[in-house]
Structure 1
Amino acid sequence: MTQRTRLRWNGDAALRGTRAGAIRGLRLGAEHVLAESRKRVPIEEGTLERSGVATVDEQQLTAAVSYDTVYAVRQHEELTWRHDAGRTAKYLEGPMTEEADTVAQIIAAQLRRSLRG
């Protein structure tokens, strides 16, 4: 007995879905890192914390987390400054490193979701 199966491959749609999943994953991953870094950012008036943003370049498939005050870099790099409990220098670098596996899982989950259709 012969059994036949016909498969129609719609590669363009699969690539579009995968790209959309990657973009969604990047956005969620960047938002996750932003949330974690906000827990550590030095806080006096909250200006630095409020300046944090997560962005995604959909063309390049890259994401970024940044803080935009004139003192953001100095606060990040100055290891000798004292901060309130739980607040620290390297408030972005720490979460970026520590949450890398979680971010990869977030992106992978969105890619899987996009492939399910």
Structure 2
Amino acid sequence: MAPRYTLRFNGAAAARELRAAAARGLYHGAEHVLGESQEVVPLDEAALSRSGAASVDEGTLTAAVSYDTPYAAYQHERLDLRHAPGRTSKYLERPLNESVDQVRALLAAELRRALR
């Protein structure tokens, strides 16, 4: 006679763990993009750089990277502005586009950890 096994699956707890892991992964991804953008954000008095932040809305599972100065969007969008060497406009868009694979990997790693 073959042995009998019982499997209990708590779907609600698993969903909560995966959602929390997804939020952590998104936060790590946003932090990565923030770090990459800090390397190219325009520097004058460093107020723009210091205003950078990463955040996650756990309810909607969305992440954001933002810079909070009155001129952040202006600096980001104006391609004709002069910046110090290595600093550039599109200081958030470019690092985000270049970091897609790393962000996916960070998110996947957190989800894998939650499934162990």
TM-score (norm 2): 0.96
Q: Tell me the alpha carbon deviations over residues 8-62 of structure 1, each in whole angstroms, 9 at most, x when there is no partner.
A: 1111111111011001101111111001101100001100000111111110000
Letter in 1 for 2:13: A
User: What is the distance in 2 between the residues matched to 1:72 and 1:10?
Assistant: 46
Equivalence for 1:43 = 43
Matches within 5 A, 1:19-58: 19-58=19-58
Matched residues, number: 116
Query: How many angstroms does 1:5 deviate by?
Result: 2.2
Matches within 5 A, 1:77-116: 77-116=77-116
Ranges in structure 1 where 5+ consecutive residues have no aligned partner: none
Ranges in structure 2 where 5+ consecutive residues have no aligned partner: none
Equivalence for 1:11 = 11
Question: What do you get for the CA RMSD once the two structures are aligned?
Answer: 0.9
User: What is the distance in 2 between the residues matched to 1:15 and 1:38?
Assistant: 34
Secondary structure, counterpart of 1:64 in structure 2: strand
Secondary structure, counterpart of 2:63 in structure 1: strand
TM-score (norm 1): 0.95
User: What is the distance in 2 between the residues matched to 1:73 and 1:55?
Assistant: 18
